Structure 1
Amino acid sequence: MSFPTAPFSGPLAAHLGGIAVRSRDDALPVAPASDRSVWDRRSGTADRVGIEAIIARAEAERPTPWPHPRASDAARVHRDGDRTAWEDAAFERQRRLSRATIAAAATLDDAWIDEVVDGVVLLCEQSSWCWPAHDDTLRAHGAVLATVTDPYVDLGAGEAVAQLAWIDHLLGAQLDARAPGVRARIRHEARVRVFEPFQRRRDWHWIGLDGDVHNWNPWIHGNVIVAALGLLDAADETVERDRVIALAIEGLDRYVAVLPADGAIDEGYAYWWNGAARALEVLDVLAHATDGAADATAVTSLRETVAFPHRSHLGGDWFVNHADGQAKPPVDQPWHALHRAARRHRDVAAEAFAASHRRPGAPAATEREGLGRLLRALTDPAWVAASPALPPLPRDVWLASTEVFLARGSAGSSDGLTLVAKGGHNGEHHNHNDVGSFLVAVDGVPVIVDAGRPTYTAATFGPDRYDIWTMQSAWHNVPVVRGRTQPAGRDAAARGATAEIGDDASTFTADLAAAYPDAGLDHWRRRARLDRVAGRVEIDDAWRFADDAPTGDDTLLHLLVAGEVRLETGGARVIPEGGARPVRLRWPEDVAATAEVRHLDDPMLTEVWGGRLTRLALPLASRTQLQVTVELDTPIEDSP
């Protein structure tokens, strides 16, 4: 069978149109459990360390009740904004099902097959696969609970249908033998909840028909493609299978069409894994399903985005965080997916970066990232056998599409100071009002920081988003001008952002005036410079008001600092988190800075920064320029 070229003609159309697809039995790139050369618990080629770790967790939880996402918790999204109570239970239910699936594949034990059947039926009986925070049922039906006759296809629905497709592919023969009819139930639910609404409705915001395409697009389309390859298998479904895949590729093409040539993600590193990485993963699945004929490695933006993770790396577990990302995201990312994409695109540095996270004798992956990713990792011999490598840590990075700049002392080392600065605009995906903000890390650990974001609630993506303090420019490393902070919106943007890369120094410059549209600025020029010779970061601000009025008391510069802060005349001494060396911040002695401690209690913030962050306020009255410098407190040559 084959699928036609979709009506939207983007970068993928020339590579994926009119190509024959394998039959359902071998369309997905994982061996079924009946292939004991792969899945046998004691002698198979699948990662035995990972399998044993998963079975141990599965055995420990088997006597306990299955997690149950409750209707009252789903309704809380519309009552008090809490979305985690329902999501935590739903996510853990699916992780338990993934663990049981691996145990069943590795042992073929009837008891584990029964556990899988129980989990599959629970998932099929769940009123909705859509996460309540995403459902449009309140708008469309006035309901706070899912309307089962009008299912909404979102990230949760995509994850659920793909998980069932992987289970059906892996354990189909065992399910037929142990629980005849359960595979038909899977197909019914997939059709009613995903395939039919996906084809019927074309107003899904994540398709990107309005040109605003974000990480939902490849995440959902990728899962729909997996489900179509694995579940639309009857003779009378051939045309539908082709149609669903074609629609999904058309949607995916819209994402690739707006992915910039430098591969940068405006949502930042944390969202790369569930955006660009999802696109790379499903393209790899399609390459398998078409015997290599579907090959999009020539697409520049896809090739470049493979490098985005290591271009965002500060050192150790720390990363450049803009938008809603964490500076220290979870360590257990699907590194195998990056490793596989790097091999496919022949990016040696990206492959080394992925391999730098491979620990000999440790599991190849965990179930946290979903069953499909887990199966790919456990059965990828190159990843299972990968040897640890050193992270690339490029000396300089300039991503012109998002106007993000990074400079460190030397390539391959996080020692010393690293400077990050950004221009951009305040209409980015998962936006924070942070035009012109900068970060400084010492020995790879952020010291002048972006807080990131707290736990998601209903307010996070609603009209009250910018009431959340972490989203406001007043809590980023930018000025408050005549009492005004930056507004949201694309028009609040940097102007003339440029990067000058040199051996002795690398410099970012931009005019921030347009990010303060009501402040009466003629210009606010910011220069952020890493002087490698002096071992110093320099932040130079120079400004003028259009009316030539002097700077008043209502103009100041904020610096958000992590670690132990001691104010001094003309500066501050900071001992960063994580054992990095102390630094000194310096500014003119007549600037009477103040410090405000922000105590943290949200786990999304405390697990990164501990219990506090400190905001320094530098008053700028009567000034037209200011320089702030950052230097190591102990010279490199004198440090132990």
Structure 2
Amino acid sequence: MEDSIHEVEHEHINQRGNESKAVSSLSADRLLEKLLRPELAMLYTDLKAYGERALKKPLPSLSFRLYRQFSDAGERKAYEQAYFDRRGRLAAVAMLALDPARPDALQALEEMLWNVCDEYTWCLPAHLGTGEVDQVNGNIDLFAAETVHMLAEMVTIHADRLDRLVIERIRFEAERRIFAPLYRDQQKFHWQTADHNWSAVCGGCCGMAALLLSEDETTLRESISHTVGCMNAFLSGYGEDGGCAEGIGYWVYGFGYFIYYAEMLREYSEGELDLLTGSKIAAIAAFPLRVHLSGGTFVNYSDSAEQEEIPSGLLSLLASRVGLQVDLPLHIPLLTDDPCHRWAHLARNVMWSDPAVYGDEGVSGQVECGFIFQNLGWMVAKGVLHSPSNQRSSGAPLHVAISVKGGHNDEPHNHNDLGQFIIHCGGENILCDPGAGLYTQAYFAPGRERLFHISSSGHNVPLIEGQEQSSGRQAQAHVLEAKLAADGGELNTTLDLTSAYPGAASLARYTRQFHWKMASGGSSNGAELRLIDRFQWKSRRESSAEPFSSADDSDAGYSSVVERWMSRVQPEVVKSGILCWQGVQGTVHMVYDANHWQVFTEAMNIVDHDNVPVTFYRTSLSWIGAVGDSDHRIEGYDPLETVCEVRFIIEPKKGETEVNMHE
């Protein structure tokens, strides 16, 4: 691919004069025409409200005190709120200024552009170490890259009306802050070879800015070669299954900017340079629909949210370019839906959103009934329960699903969560994943695995001999079985998770089995997940340096297990051995052996990624039985085992908590 790019580079650069720099889709008239379409009415209202407020108030200051908060105290929220509000105001006013009858918006836009050029750094303090001058000069992080791209597109769109001094100032700052260190000095940045979102976002944003702003042929050639290298690094982080270990939120971020650059490069080269080819690209494009469970709720392992706004422009473009079948109802995200107020998403939602490519989940059902990500180690199974209209107000199908996570504990934005699973019902993850925590200095520092969102203590995985899962690549889920029925009605998966618990001295082997089955008709109308955890223990002579005593004929008491289940719903005790989580549209009953397991639920009051208080209910099952079924011993090893078997029964919500719980 790179060879063909270099062959046509000179031809396409030489064909373009200085006055034809703008990619044709980036014109004020075309953007305004798109913005005024009826389906974008809510977006336009949101933009206008945000923009009108921005015209009345000065930009928030990025003061020295705010800048120093991260290096002094590890606090990043206050600076970033001001930083992203500035970007949001600029984006909204740039859209208002499309209207020729709004000279006030154009004048405000010029002031804001000039103000952003005055910023000490376009990087976030959290990405600058201690934030000293030598760490600022020539540094390019995600948001410096996003900023130069935003400014480049705004200059291109409003080129005929902006004051030339503003345009020249932006060119100067882009050259000084981005193009010189990156393309001319060829300074090395960690993200250039990263196999995650940084390479696509940083490389793609800088590359798009160069296509739009650079007037130097050498710089243009270097930018294309450099950016394609970044994109190849980014794609190396995906397997052929197209799975994103960082989760759906970072798929939007990384793959979104990959697509944005690829489309601009294709248009720039008049179709000669096309990065959107091959089966791997198609598989990556399909990822969000494969992990969409129902109702806009997704599998949210790692630092992703359950409810994710996928840019409508991005999905529309993928539908037209790689044939993605979209089984989601049309929803065009608002500027205020994105806390970072990203210009790239906003502009492409306006330019590319196509209602014709969207389906209706309630009518057409899922495109796929499940998927096994062989490289990633994730499994997803989906199904539909049908209930009489007198049980549910709409009588509509109830979507249910399960997801299981393998992988390893050194993934991008890693959580120590091998064996984690999600039970979904009616647009709600009832047994859930906590997703991302509040980003602070500690969140990315050594010892981060002690934080609730990252630790295995915040996931649906056990505590073994008082030990949580360990961090590192060596902690890996070995998939022993993964079978999914073609209709998604049955999933059987077995994981060996022994390596996740090196601190459990007595543990010889730990396997987790999942058996998921949808009801196949008759009077039953539900789904069942049967989970079987097997903990095999070493004998005392293996797990201790002390001499083995034949008088000590029991290993009970030194090999403890606590199973844990996370939910935003507080469970209710139906009777001994049965718990129930009542969701909005469905219920999940858990049936367990109360003779051997003691149940306890505690409220975990924390804050989420946006610093909003949230409560999770962690339900624990503590082993109170005896280890092993016999007291005979084999030389060097004792076949001692603890087994936890539970059934999760998922049904449409009923007036009474009735469930088929016979064994």
Q: Shorter-chain TM-score: what band? A: 0.7 to 0.9
Q: Which consecutive unaligned segments of at least 5 residues does structure 2 have?
A: 387-395, 520-525, 541-554, 628-641, 659-663
Distance 1:273 1:449 in 2: 21
Superimposed CA distance per residue, residues 389-415 of structure 1 (whole angstroms, 9 cap, x where no aligned partner):
336352121001111011123499972
Superimposed CA distance per residue, residues 111-143 of structure 1 (whole angstroms, 9 cap, x where no aligned partner):
22211111111100000001110014x3xxxxx
Answer whether contact 1:218 1:278 (CA < 8 A) is retained: yes
Distance 1:226 1:535 in 2: 48
1:151 corresponds, among 138, 156, 159, to: 138
CA pair 437-373 structure 1, distance change in 2 beyond 3 A = closer
1:105 aligns with 2:98: yes
Residue type of the alignment partner of 1:429: P
CA pair 229-346 structure 1, distance change in 2 beyond 3 A = same
Q: CA deviation at 1:434?
A: 0.5
Distance 2:31 2:120 in 1: 36
Answer whether contact 1:403 1:497 (CA < 8 A) is retained: no
Answer whether contact 1:46 1:378 (CA < 8 A) is retained: no
CA pair 255-158 structure 1, distance change in 2 beyond 3 A = same
Q: Which residue of 2 aligns with 1:162?
A: 149
Q: Which residue of 1 aligns with 2:477?
A: 494
Tell me the SS of whatever aligns to 2:178. helix
Question: Which sits farther off after the overlay, 113-122 or 629-638?
Answer: 629-638
Superimposed CA distance per residue, residues 464-508 of structure 1 (whole angstroms, 9 cap, x where no aligned partner):
311211211122111212221111001001113431112552111
CA pair 347-639 structure 1, distance change in 2 beyond 3 A = farther
Q: Which residue of 1 aligns with 2:342?
A: 370
Q: Which residue of 1 aligns with 2:438?
A: 455
Q: Which residue of 2 aligns with 1:442?
A: 425
Q: CA deviation at 1:39?
A: 2.8
Q: Following superposition of structure 1 onto structure 2, how do residues 76-155 of structure 1 map, counting pairs within 5 Å?
A: 76-107=69-100, 109-136=102-129, 138=130, 144-147=131-134, 150-155=137-142
Answer whether contact 1:132 1:146 (CA < 8 A) is retained: no
Q: CA deviation at 1:102?
A: 0.9
CA pair 205-625 structure 1, distance change in 2 beyond 3 A = same
Distance 2:63 2:41 in 1: 36
Q: Which consecutive unaligned segments of at least 5 residues does structure 1 have?
A: 1-11, 139-143
2:305 corresponds, among 315, 320, 326, to: 326
1:30 corresponds, among 25, 33, 36, to: 25
Distance 1:618 1:171 in 2: 65
CA pair 619-106 structure 1, distance change in 2 beyond 3 A = farther
1:269 corresponds, among 217, 223, 248, to: 248
Superimposed CA distance per residue, residues 575-629 of structure 1 (whole angstroms, 9 cap, x where no aligned partner):
13xx12222111112134333423434243786x953433323326535211111
Q: Which residue of 1 aligns with 2:265?
A: 286
2:576 corresponds, among 569, 581, 595, to: 569
Q: Which residue of 1 aligns with 2:161?
A: 174
Residue type of the alignment partner of 1:358: H
1:253 aligns with 2:232: yes
Residue type of the alignment partner of 1:525: T
Superimposed CA distance per residue, residues 327-369 of structure 1 (whole angstroms, 9 cap, x where no aligned partner):
223x4x3121122022100122xx343xx2336xx97997864
CA pair 372-43 structure 1, distance change in 2 beyond 3 A = closer
Q: CA deviation at 1:71?
A: 1.8
Answer whether contact 1:566 1:573 (CA < 8 A) is retained: yes
Q: Which residue of 1 aligns with 2:599?
A: 594
Answer whether contact 2:262 2:276 (CA < 8 A) is retained: no
CA pair 414-620 structure 1, distance change in 2 beyond 3 A = farther
Distance 1:631 1:498 in 2: 22
2:491 corresponds, among 493, 497, 506, to: 506
Distance 1:74 1:32 in 2: 36
Answer whether contact 1:434 1:473 (CA < 8 A) is retained: yes
1:528 aligns with 2:499: no
1:337 aligns with 2:324: no
Tell me the SS of whatever aligns to 1:614. strand
1:405 aligns with 2:405: no
Superimposed CA distance per residue, residues 78-123 of structure 1 (whole angstroms, 9 cap, x where no aligned partner):
1221111111111110111111111111235332221111111110
Answer whether contact 2:398 2:652 (CA < 8 A) is retained: no
Q: CA deviation at 1:445?
A: 1.2
Q: What percent of counterpart residues are identical?
A: 22
Tell me the SS of whatever aligns to 1:510. strand
Tell me the SS of whatever aligns to 1:460. helix
1:228 corresponds, among 203, 206, 210, to: 210
TM-score by length of 1: 0.86
Q: CA deviation at 1:543?
A: 2.3
Superimposed CA distance per residue, residues 276-322 of structure 1 (whole angstroms, 9 cap, x where no aligned partner):
22212211111111111112333222111111001111211311111
Distance 1:440 1:597 in 2: 20
CA pair 118-268 structure 1, distance change in 2 beyond 3 A = same
Distance 2:120 2:515 in 1: 55
Distance 1:41 1:317 in 2: 25
CA pair 336-497 structure 1, distance change in 2 beyond 3 A = farther
1:543 aligns with 2:535: yes
Q: Which of these two proteins has the greater Rg computed from alpha carbons?
A: 2
Superimposed CA distance per residue, residues 1-54 of structure 1 (whole angstroms, 9 cap, x where no aligned partner):
xxxxxxxxxxx4256443325636354352422xx4653699889956644542
CA pair 343-392 structure 1, distance change in 2 beyond 3 A = farther
Question: Which sits farther off after the overlay, 446-455 or 516-525?
Answer: 516-525
Distance 1:206 1:346 in 2: 30
Tell me the SS of whatever aligns to 1:306. helix
CA pair 423-309 structure 1, distance change in 2 beyond 3 A = same
Q: Following superposition of structure 1 onto structure 2, how do residues 446-485 of structure 1 map, counting pairs within 5 Å?
A: 446-485=429-468
Answer whether contact 1:570 1:591 (CA < 8 A) is retained: no
Q: Please provide the CA RMSD for this pair.
A: 3.0
Answer whether contact 1:41 1:48 (CA < 8 A) is retained: no
CA pair 522-60 structure 1, distance change in 2 beyond 3 A = same
Q: Which residue of 2 aligns with 1:614?
A: 618
Q: Which residue of 1 aligns with 2:283?
A: 304
